[in-house]
Structure 1
Amino acid sequence: MIKLITTDMDGTLLDENSNLPESFTEVLNLIREKDVKLVIASGRPYATLQTNFGPMAKYLSYITDNGALVFHNNELIFKDVMSKDIVQDILKKAKTIDNTTVVLCGVECAYIENCSDEYLEEIKKYYVNYEVVDDLTKVNDDIIKVTICDLETSAKNSNTILEPLFEDKLNVVVAGPLWLDIMNKTVNKGTALKKIMDTLDIAKDEVMAFGDYYNDIEMLNQAEHSFVMKNAPEDMKQHAKYIAESNEDYGVLGAIMEHVILA
């Protein structure tokens, strides 16, 4: 029996306009009646997710910043802070890459330097709490993720430069067409999901997971009932047992209705 459902946001639960399905609240209420926990797993920060879900936010648990932070029952139960030296090393190299800008992610706030409106429009989609600073190297905060906004596409541009440099020390992952996330080696959505599973004493065969991109792989591996979205890159589809309908066709809610509500 399914006791926990976890889902990615962009390209998975949300449609192409980054909107929640209209029936989300109805389906959430139905799974809550069955005492099933819903965990949102995203590269987005906690403050943004709270805004995204509005009045329903209090009923959810969250894996944020691709696993660097975990919130359960509205409390922070896990964080994985990067060393200041490694953050400086990333900044030094990232600033040399064309067509990119860097976001430093703290627990409560993100930090950016002045950038063009094109970058700012993309950043504001995901970060509601951010501060513009003169120099990112002088930010004095616990940093849990460095993310690169890459208008040349992250897989072909920033990832080809940064992954070879840091893959031995850090988790460097393409988190979306325009985003590259860099975190501690121990950080991923799967590790974070296991924290919640252990807290609730939930086994792998009681977990359903949905994802569409490479930063979802470890999370999918933690779930016996794993789904990759039909709209995902083709090479992602080997990482799950099932294929869900696309995010445009509300595949997450459709699978939940079939396998949890109506089962």
Structure 2
Amino acid sequence: MVKMIVSDMDGTLLDSNKNFPPDFDQIFQELKKRGILFVAASGRSYPKQREIFQPYLEDMFFICDNGASIIHRDQWLYKNTLPREKLEKLLTACEQIPNILPILCAPLNCYYQPYSPAFEPYLRSYFSTGNILNDVYSVSEPILKVAICDLQNAAVNSYPKLKHELDDELNLVVSGELWMDAMNPFVNKGKALQFLQKKFSISPAQTMVFGDFYNDIEMLARADYSFVMENANDDMKQYGRWIAPSNDHYGVTREIWKYLSSADCFLT
């Protein structure tokens, strides 16, 4: 029987307009009634996730910053911050790449340099708070990850260049068409999910996961009930046991309802 359901947000739970499925509240209340934990797992930082899930904060868990932090009821259960020397080396490498904006993600704030107006809609969509600094090297707050907004396409511009230079020192992952993230080695959504599974004595056989992008691969591997979204890139679909309908067809809630009405739901 499934005891924990974990879903990525963008391209998975949320539709293309960044809205919940119309039946999400009904699903959430049903999971709560049955004692099934719900976890939002995202590359987004906690302040933005908190804003989006405001009505549900008391009864869910958050895997944030691609696994660099785990939060429940505004309490940090886990944090993994970047060493100063690695952060500075990454920022120096970013200075050599055109049309990108590194965003330093702290637990409750983010920091970036003055930017072109072209970046504005992407920052507004993914970050609730932000601090513009002429010198991001001056940030003293612990940094969980660096998100990189790449107007030229992260997979073909910033990712290969940074991977060539820093692959031995950081976990670099493409998290969206215009986004990539840099965290400490072995920091990913799968490791964060493993932390929660151990904390609550929940096995992969009791875990359901939904994802659509490359930063979801490790957490899909931590669940027997693994779903990749129909809208995912074709090379992602090998990582799920099943293919869920697209995010715009509310695949996450459709598959959860299907499971809740199945015989498997009542097996121990």
The aligned counterpart of 2:101 is 101
The alignment's TM-score, normalised by the length of structure 1, stands at 0.98
Correspondence 1:113 to 2:119? no
Offset, 1:53 = 1.3
The aligned counterpart of 2:186 is 186
The alignment's TM-score, normalised by the length of structure 2, stands at 0.96
Letter in 1 for 2:123: I
What pairs with 1:1-263 in structure 2 (closer than 5 Å)?
Answer: 1-263=1-263
Q: Alignment partner of 1:125: what SS?
A: helix
| Residues 192-220 of structure 1, C-alpha deviations (whole Å, 9 max, x = no match) | 00111111110110000000000000000
Q: Alignment partner of 2:27: what SS?
A: helix
| Residues 101-144 of structure 1, C-alpha deviations (whole Å, 9 max, x = no match) | 11001111000111122212201111102111111111111011
| Residues 6-41 of structure 1, C-alpha deviations (whole Å, 9 max, x = no match) | 000000000001111121111100111110000000
Q: Alignment partner of 1:210: what SS?
A: strand
Q: Aligned partners of 1:152 and 1:58: how far apart in 2?
A: 39
Q: Aligned partners of 1:36 and 1:72: how far apart in 2?
A: 15
Q: State, as a whole percentage, how many aligned pairs show the same letter.
A: 38
Offset, 1:99 = 1.0
Runs of 4+ in structure 1 over 4 Å off: none
Deviates more, 1:196-205 or 1:4-13: 196-205
Q: Alignment partner of 2:186: what SS?
A: coil
Q: Aligned partners of 1:172 and 1:189: how far apart in 2?
A: 13
Q: Aligned partners of 1:196 and 1:246: how far apart in 2?
A: 27
Flag structure 2 segments of 5+ consecutive residues without an equivalent: 264-268
Q: Aligned partners of 1:45 and 1:244: how far apart in 2?
A: 26
Letter in 2 for 1:32: K
Q: Aligned partners of 1:261 and 1:54: how far apart in 2?
A: 28
Q: Aligned partners of 1:104 and 1:112: how far apart in 2?
A: 6
Q: Alignment partner of 1:205: what SS?
A: helix
Offset, 1:58 = 2.1
Letter in 2 for 1:98: P
Offset, 1:261 = 4.6
